[in-house]
Structure 1
Amino acid sequence: HCDKAFFIKRDFVDHVAAHQGQKKHGCPVCKQKFTKKADLTRHRFVHLSGEERVEVRRGWRLACYFCKKRFQDSSHLECHLVTHTKEKIGGRCPTCRKTFCSKQALTHHGFLHLSADEKVALVEQRVSRVCLFCHKIFSNSRTYHGHVVTHTKEKAFSCDQCGEQFSLKGNLTKHARIHSADPRPFKCTQCDQALTTKDSLVVHKKTVHRKLKDFVCLQCGKKFGRKSDMVRHVNSVHAKIWHPCPHCGLTFSRTDHLGRHLKKLHPPE
């Protein structure tokens, strides 16, 4: 029907069924049919009584004492709780001394300090995942699948306000804030700066107020507060990687500058 490709057979089968107009998952209560089983599961919730809904939620998810956010298992809840208590109980990285809220987060972080040979050894032990396209190695399935969509260009998450599509759910969540009453909800307590994400606020405080720059260019020694800024510097200044506009041939040292150029001078029809 189309050229879309999938990594999970279940997603592929549901997608084909949507093309064929098939709705194989029927509700036993009202007989309404759905293309995806997950849609049927969400639908069946509407037929439960108030008491049944409470019972399902109690057995299905654990709630945070502070903000009532719910989680599927206790390990996720424990990792979330430290965002309120500010505890760093996961331990400290012996290489860079960074602290973490959970041992799992510390383990994933430690993967960044491994050599190429050590990463390959982990892959052979089936502890990590290797990208089929570029052979980049990842410490867990979540980051692996997040990376794969950068190759497939698949955008499965659509904004219900403006229709813009995203390859990662987290990017959709960040985008959705522009449609809210407060698009920049994270306020810096040390200045008037307001940011769209909590991660941006952490980086802002670290680089602007604490003057910390942990990422050093190995070519010239220049320091940066964010790894992405250091990589951008290396690509444009030392590697001389330029990004041409496909319409007019004008070149840019940064992809975000190319993006602004495309939106301003070559907007999509």
Structure 2
Amino acid sequence: MHGLARIHNCSYCDYSSATKAGLVVHERRHTGEREFVCEHCGASFHSRAGLVQHLPIHLPESNYECNICQKREKSKRLLQHHYHKVHKEKRLRYLCPVCEDVFKSSSATRQHLTKSHGVARHDQSAIQRFELSVPDST
């Protein structure tokens, strides 16, 4: 909320909200209250927005289509997940400091260091990353 002070303070932690409604939803996470229940499957949510975001999974048709491969998903969020997982160009790669193998994520590199080289997580230094040069498509 622009221009509103965060005057509503959580009773359980140091969170504060500009609106009373925001605080109520936040505090439900502490109390475990989930008053919004899906009538199709019984899943419950802290907020109405969570339930509304969930409901499209029960629709018989997939309403969101990928403009690259025409895959259809039941929600905008699922389509975004598909796009980032399948189509988004991943240019960064991460280098193992021991054997110089290359990985797609720093977490995969750290897992490799632990399993292949026996380097405990707390003994691992920063993982070097570099950008792949992508060939020109012209």
Please give the TM-score of this superposition, normalised by the length of structure 1.
Answer: 0.28
Q: Higher RCO, 1 or 2 (CA under 8 Å, sep at least 6)?
A: 2
Higher helix share: 1
Task: From the two aligned structures, give the one with the greater strand fraction.
Answer: 2
TM-score normalised to structure 2 length: 0.49
